[in-house]
Homo-oligomer: A and B are copies of this chain.
Amino acid sequence: MPDLDPAVSDRLRFDDRGLVAAIIQQHDSGEVLMLGWMDAEALRRTLTEGRVTFWSRSRQEYWRKGDTSGHAQFVKSVALDCDGDALLVRVEQVGAACHTGDRTCFDVGALDVVVGEAS
Please list the residues of chain A having a beta carbon within 8 angstroms of any beta carbon in chain B.
Answer: 8, 11, 21, 23, 25, 29-32, 34-35, 46-51, 72, 74-83, 85-86, 88, 92, 94, 98-100, 102, 105-118
User: What residue of chain B has the Cβ atom nearest to residue A100's Cβ?
Assistant: B82
> A31 to B31, alpha carbons, bound, how many Å?
9
User: What residue of chain B has the Cβ atom nearest to residue A99's Cβ?
Assistant: B82
4 further A-B pairs in the complex, CB-CB below 8 A; given A25-B30, A75-B115, A82-B98 = A47-B114, A49-B114, A82-B100, A92-B116
Give the number of times this chain occurs in the complex, counting copies. 2
Given contacts A32-B88, A116-B92, contact A111 B81 (CB under 8 A): no
7 residue pairs of the A-B complex, CB under 8 angstroms, read A30-B30, A35-B85, A47-B113, A48-B114, A82-B108, A92-B116, A92-B117
Q: Among the listed B29, B75, B81, B112, which residue makes an inter-chain contact with A113, where contact means beta carbons less than 8 Å apart? A: B75
Q: Among the listed B49, B102, B113, which residue makes an inter-chain contact with A77, where contact means beta carbons less than 8 Å apart? A: B113
Q: Which residues of B contact A115 (CB under 8 A)?
A: 50, 74-77
Q: Are B118 and A105 in contact (CB under 8 A)?
A: no
Q: Which residues of B contact A107 (CB under 8 A)?
A: 79
Q: Are A116 and B50 in contact (CB under 8 A)?
A: yes
